[in-house]
Amino acid sequence: MKQLFAIFGNPVSHSKSPLMHNLAFKKLRYPACYTRYLLQDGSRLKETFFALNLKGANITVPHKEEAFKACDVLDHFAQKVGAVNTIVEREGKLYGYNTDAPGFLKTLKSFPQAKTVLLLGAGGTAKATAVILRDAGYEVTLLNRSAGRLKYFEEKGFETYTFENFKPKAYDLVINMTSAGLENNFLPAPDEILEKAVSSSIACIDVIYGKNTPFLQWAQTHNKPTKDGSEMLLYQGVIAFDYFTDHRFKQKEIELHMRQAFLL
């Protein structure tokens, strides 16, 4: 019988994950199918997962913290960052992983000279990414529009700012990790703040994929090289697929097939 996988999110219609995973399942002859599920209420994640008889799932905006709570077993990194984007069912238990952050880290290989980064946003994605980047040796600063979610980062010893108290330094990379621009035309921060933030940057990155976001457009008008979230999506998907299929394929092989989803 085919195994069933899904992505949970709200919104979820934009997600490329079903295409990526289904292509890789087909090419690798793995008997599985991957669908999408619009989940309004994150607290219903676990019961929905079991009601659909899923083998595994990805979780996107805004349910990664609820997904963390829904898991019975967490891997070390997911435990550390409090956000889960990949769940695998094994013998009735839900195992939780975070593949966003290692996926994002891999994309920074194209900027070998970068050492300092400014993350715009303080949600689930920023939480996991800030920790993995710092562990990898980057100097990480957080800037968020409101103070509430910055508490997590302050407790972990990160330098944090809101728009009101921002004291900019030189950042090699400025990265939009907010959802501004995902479904609207908002910039992640006011123009005058962005100008200070990017003044000596090598590049601007948005983790949103599949569109030239307001932030990327803004960066282009300021003559900065840009990169969108497609590579992050690809790499987080490869790592998730590796968990879904219990490490039976080579990651390079999974990547090869998943890459085709970006050419369709």
Q: Which residues are known to be catalytic? A: 64
Backbone angles phi, psi at 61, to 5 degrees: -45, 135
Q: Give the shortest CB-142-to-ligand NDP separation in angstroms.
A: 9
In this structure, which amino acid lies at residue 236? Q
The Cα–Cα gap between 197 and 62 comes to 26
Q: Between 100 and 172, whose beta carbon lies closer to ligand NDP?
A: 100
HEC string for 48-108? HHHHCCCCEEEECCCCHHHHHHHCCEECHHHHHHCCCCEEEEECCEEEEECCHHHHHHHHH
Cα–Cα separations (whole angstroms), residue 233 to 43, 72, 121, 229, 236: 25, 25, 18, 6, 5
Q: Between 54 and 233, whose beta carbon lies closer to ligand NDP?
A: 233
Q: Give the shortest CB-133-to-ligand NDP separation in angstroms.
A: 14
Q: Give the shortest CB-230-to-ligand NDP separation in angstroms.
A: 7
Q: Between 93 and 151, whose beta carbon lies closer to ligand NDP?
A: 151
Q: Give the shortest CB-170-to-ligand NDP separation in angstroms.
A: 22
Q: Between 41 and 53, whose beta carbon lies closer to ligand NDP?
A: 41
The residues near 204 (Cβ < 8 Å, ≥ 6 apart) are: 173, 174, 175, 176, 198, 215, 216, 219, 224, 225, 226, 227
The residues near 113 (Cβ < 8 Å, ≥ 6 apart) are: 172, 202
Residues facing 31 on adjacent strands: none
Q: Give the shortest CB-148-to-ligand NDP separation in angstroms.
A: 6
Helix then strand count (H, E) for the chain reads 11, 12
Which stretches of the chain bind ligand NDP, using CB under 6 A? 61-62, 64, 100, 121-126, 144-146, 148-149, 177-180, 182, 186, 188, 207-209, 229, 232-233, 236
Q: Between 94 and 175, whose beta carbon lies closer to ligand NDP?
A: 175
Q: Which residue's C-beta sits nearest to ligand NDP?
A: 123
DSSP 163: T
